[in-house]
Structure 1
Amino acid sequence: MTAAGVDVVGVCVPRERTREVWEEWRGRHGKTGWWPYVTLDSPTQMARGRRESRRDVWVVEELVGDAVSQDHDARAASMLVSACRWAVEEVANVDDDLESWRADYDPARLAPSLAPAVEQPQQGVSQWATDPRAFLRQDSRWVHFVAVRGSYEVPVLLPSVYGTWNWCGYGDRCLTPLDHSAILRRWHEQWGAELFFAMGSYLELVVDRPPLDPQGAAQAAAELHAYCLDTVHDPVETGDTMARSTMWSLWWD
């Protein structure tokens, strides 16, 4: 149990069985209410995290209520605007073509640069949960279970589950648990994205219905670019690849 009263149950499984166990318990979420996610820390290690120990029970209850009632589409859109403004005002040089910078965050401008619609999504592969080369080749993973309505509530209940470190440079703004919840809920509703792996600055989402057409892929690529510039450097490439894939792997430097 975290200091804020959040219960986390975990089981250690062989790395090669991680996806199988996660899929099985994801399918049971509707009956159990417990959402599984994969990580490397034990539940005890996670519960003792610095950010977990600073919150009271009433703060968690208030945040969960806000996460349920907030306009997650509007909040996600504001993150896109903040990232675009930061890029244009703080990163772009005076001699740069600012319109090309803005195009990275504008799906309507990005879509014509993407490949035509495809019939089937690309089958994504986990980089960190199941790859034997990841994280010092550890042979096991932890599958944690948290009682939530949907996986998008996990960052609210467990703010140290992963961290978007470089977002603090976006106009001195740091993303809050409600920001993370908003973008994950939007991606869940739009494309069936679900929290799969979370650890430190690493995040992976299993995406059941990734966008296959240029407009949808452009929307996803622009939002992925804004959310994780460290991984998504080129929105055009991302719109043709990861955005249309069943696995989104993100990493913040």
Structure 2
Amino acid sequence: MAMTIDELQQLRTLPPLREAATATDGTPVYAGEVDGVDAFRLWSDLRRLHEHTGWWPVLAGEPDELASVLIGLCPDFAPGTTTPSNPDLLSEEVTADAVHALAAHVEAELDLTQAGGIHVSALGQDRTTLCLVQAPAGHDVPALLNWLGACNYDLNGADHQAVLRHFHTHYGADLVTLEPDIIELLVHRRPATPESLATATLEHLAYCPDIVSQGVGSLEALAAGQLRAGSWYFWWD
């Protein structure tokens, strides 16, 4: 059972909070505004406390976007299912031939000892919204919020939950940001071999084609950039 918000505030100073929504499991979702430059530090502190508090912090973008983040909790958008609509989503692009071809490029072209930094969109915002969700883990948050940011690709909250659970299990990825159409993850165990980097890159393409088709332009660029960074970014048009 999660501690109360008052108990949490005794552990870490929080901004003024309001009950912004009710999650799909009936628990309250709290939200408050913070300065963008302070947002990631606050997220990190609350993430470290999560096992003790039961509250998962998520950065939900600029304050006027919060309604779009939580729109899936409105009665008209009640989740029709709590199971993934496409349980084989990640395997669609991850074929042996595709992994082999991309791994060969990675081995020939990339220095895997070089790693990128961490990008968190809130740091570029004057004000951002901190949401607190009662969740066993960060990967459960999109399902608890019935997040609709990738509805154009027919992905439901359970799809995101399954993919983010996979990324957490294999790469130590934690959910940081959930904006109207953006997910950001902090990655603790980046892929370290050509084969694992190629596999993860193809998984990213299967999960979020727009980061290639409307973003970096190629799998090679995705492998050279985002996949070697300390954070991963997903955006759906």
TM-score range, shorter chain: 0.7 to 0.9
Task: Pick which of 185-194 and 103-112 moved more.
Answer: 103-112
Q: Where does the alignment leave 5 or more consecutive residues of structure 2 unmatched?
A: 1-20
SS in 1 for 2:212: coil
Aligned length: 209
1:105–1:225 contact (8 Å) kept in structure 2: no
Tell me by how many angstroms 1:121 deviates.
2.8
1:211–1:220 contact (8 Å) kept in structure 2: yes
User: Which of 221, 238, 246 lines up with 2:201 in the alignment?
Assistant: 221
The TM-score normalised by the length of structure 2 is 0.76
Matches within 5 A, 1:156-235: 156-160=143-147, 163-167=149-153, 174-233=154-213, 234-235=218-219
**Residue equivalent to 2:115:** 121
User: Which of 37, 44, 47 lines up with 1:26 in the alignment?
Assistant: 47
Counterparts of 1:48 and 1:204 in 2: how far apart (Å)?
A: 14
2:188–2:230 contact (8 Å) kept in structure 1: yes
Change beyond 3 A, Cα 1:232–1:16: same
Change beyond 3 A, Cα 1:156–1:55: farther
2:89–2:206 contact (8 Å) kept in structure 1: yes
- Cα deviation per residue 1:218-248 (whole Å; 9 max; x = unaligned)? 1111011111111124112111221111111
**Residue equivalent to 2:229:** 245
Residue 5 of structure 2 is aligned to residue 13 of structure 1: no
- Cα deviation per residue 1:76-116 (whole Å; 9 max; x = unaligned)? xx11345x4xxxxxxxxxxxxxxxxx879832332111145
1:120–1:212 contact (8 Å) kept in structure 2: no
Tell me by how many angstroms 1:151 deviates.
0.5
Change beyond 3 A, Cα 1:2–1:108: same
**Residue equivalent to 1:150:** 137
User: Which of 56, 64, 69 lines up with 1:35 in the alignment?
Assistant: 56
Counterparts of 2:68 and 2:229 in 1: how far apart (Å)?
A: 32
Counterparts of 1:104 and 1:197 in 2: how far apart (Å)?
A: 32
1:146–1:154 contact (8 Å) kept in structure 2: yes
Matches within 5 A, 1:70-89: 75=87, 78-82=88-92, 84=93
SS in 2 for 1:130: helix
- What amino acid sits opposite 2:118 in the alignment? G
The TM-score normalised by the length of structure 1 is 0.72
Change beyond 3 A, Cα 1:33–1:225: same
Change beyond 3 A, Cα 1:24–1:105: farther
Counterparts of 1:47 and 1:203 in 2: how far apart (Å)?
A: 14
Counterparts of 2:27 and 2:64 in 1: how far apart (Å)?
A: 11
Percent of pairs with identical residues? 26
2:56–2:137 contact (8 Å) kept in structure 1: yes
Counterparts of 2:76 and 2:149 in 1: how far apart (Å)?
A: 17
Tell me by how many angstroms 1:210 deviates.
1.1
Task: Pick which of 231-240 and 202-211 moved more.
Answer: 231-240
* CA RMSD in angstroms, aligned pairs only: 3.1
**Residue equivalent to 1:109:** 101
SS in 2 for 1:129: helix
Counterparts of 2:221 and 2:22 in 1: how far apart (Å)?
A: 40
2:90–2:163 contact (8 Å) kept in structure 1: no
